[in-house]
Amino acid sequence: MNARRDLPVVLAAFALLAPLLAAPASAQFSGLRADSAAEPCASATTRDAALSCVRDSVSALSRAVGAKDAAQIERLTDSVRQGSEAARRAARALPASERGGGYMLGVERAAWELGEAARTGRTGELSRRYEALTVAARPIGDALRSPDLGELLTRASDAVDAVAAETSRPDPKTCAKTLRVTDIAEGLKAHRYTDSEVQLINQRVSGDLMHWYQHESYETKDPALCAQSSVIEGLFMNRSSNASKSGGWTCREWNNEKSFTYALITRGPGLEEHCRRYMAFAYPDMTEAGREKSCAIIAKNYEDPKELCAKLVPDEIAPEKLPACLSEFRRYRPNDPQKVCGELKGDMPYWQERCLSLTSFANAFTKKDPSLCGDHELCRLYMNDWAPYGKRYEAKIKAAMCSIPADAKSSDAARARGLLETAAGLARDEPARAR
């Protein structure tokens, strides 16, 4: 079905049902807190008891999401996560054939995403996040409470609102002419995109966005760009090891590492300072004295990787890491890139590209010949020749962003129609409600 043609139908159908939404949330969901009271899921000692707690929490969440009750959503998503963990703990005592439960990790993830949306005030995402949770919980969801008419209409309302927002976006040609890359982060921070658009930005644009911010901030030395990238990091990298960090940590860590490796290759001033700053980001558990000692060794011995690594073992790195240490520091001297980086072929494309860029830059810098960079972006960045790549990424990001509203609109229109059809089915036996 054509989303643009069918949008008026969706809106009209919703308009007919809209009076049913007029009842205050307190009337529709007055039993919420009493219904959801239960023993903490974390205390469940059997797998079935834990799964029952998860099931009850997911059922209660349906009403909390409809009421947009952020505090209750946070509490209940905590219960889901605790129950999922308890179920996996209890399952360890069962025979392998009876454990199952691998899907519980998906339940935990979906519950966390719903709770985060509530905690950060992203109310437009609640319905879709809840639906993702119910899909993840389906293996234990036979007894999940069926949604009532009010909940379905609330979700349909959210979907119709999303379609209206997506319809109002500039057409792709206008978008491509007016959109700036920095507008995207600003829009995400201000919640200007619908949940469907955010999901598509994650899938199609987030990696290129972070790449652009990292390289552009390094080239311009503008710390504001890394600060702005924090919204990309928070939305799309929140399950990484950097989840607890904020303020553009990933971008700043990337810049610190690149400043350190640049200083290593160019024998530039401030090598030890760059080293200590990088170590503080990359190895936060390392003591200040340990960072100073390691960076002093590196600064004094970087011309001879073998000597350098020998002095780092065993106090600073484990003996078994010696080959990796040698491999790393050989990349910072003029060498044959293919010979130095050959061992990284196969399943390590990122690390191989990094190695090739570093070794190519060592050659290009020594001979003052940018052509030795080939098509390695980091090498070109170090040689102050990244601008063509930056334009290429900007064009790619804009093209992807400008195509997203139409796809999101189609998805949300279909979702609204499905919810309204389900609502009509529930109301079929009640003529007044059906009308």
Cα–Cα distance between 364 and 406 in angstroms, integer?
A: 45
Q: Is 71 exposed, middle or buried (0-12, 13-18, 19+ CB in 10 A)?
A: exposed
If you average pLDDT over residues 270-297, what whole number do you get? 90
Angle at 223 between CA 217 and CA 229, to 5 degrees: 70
pLDDT at 397 over 90: yes
Average pLDDT across the chain, whole number? 81
Structure tokens at 407: 């796809």
Confidence category of residue 433, pLDDT binned at 50, 70, 90: low
Q: Is 97 exposed, middle or buried (0-12, 13-18, 19+ CB in 10 A)?
A: exposed
Structure tokens at 67: 């009421």
The region, left, alpha or beta by phi > 0 then psi within -120 to 50, assigned to residue 69 is beta
Dmax (CA) for the chain in angstroms is 86
pLDDT at 434 over 80: no
Contacts of 39 (CB under 8 A, 6+ apart): 53
pTM for the predicted model, two decimal places: 0.69
pLDDT at 24 over 50: no
Tell me: the pLDDT tens digits for 220-272?
999 899 999 988 888 887 544 444 455 678 899 899 999 999 999 998 788 99
150 or 430: which leads in pLDDT: 150
Whether residue 257 contacts residue 281, with contact meaning beta carbons closer than 8 Å, is answered with yes
385 or 56: which leads in pLDDT: 385
Whether residue 68 contacts residue 123, with contact meaning beta carbons closer than 8 Å, is answered with yes
Tell me: the pLDDT tens digits for 47-92?
778 888 888 888 888 888 888 889 999 999 998 888 888 887 877 7
pLDDT at 95 over 80: no
Whether residue 199 contacts residue 162, with contact meaning beta carbons closer than 8 Å, is answered with no
Cα–Cα distance between 275 and 129 in angstroms, integer?
A: 42
Whether residue 49 contacts residue 40, with contact meaning beta carbons closer than 8 Å, is answered with no
Cα–Cα distance between 276 and 265 in angstroms, integer?
A: 16
pLDDT at 343 over 90: no
Q: By 3-state DSSP, what share of the chain in percent is helix, strand and coil, each rounded to 5? A: 75, 0, 25
Whether residue 209 contacts residue 187, with contact meaning beta carbons closer than 8 Å, is answered with no
Confidence category of residue 273, pLDDT binned at 50, 70, 90: very high
Highest mean pLDDT among 240-254, 278-292, 296-310, 410-424: 296-310
Tell me: the pLDDT tens digits for 105-119?
888 888 998 998 898
Give me the numbers of helices (H) and strands (E) for the chain, helices first please: 25, 0
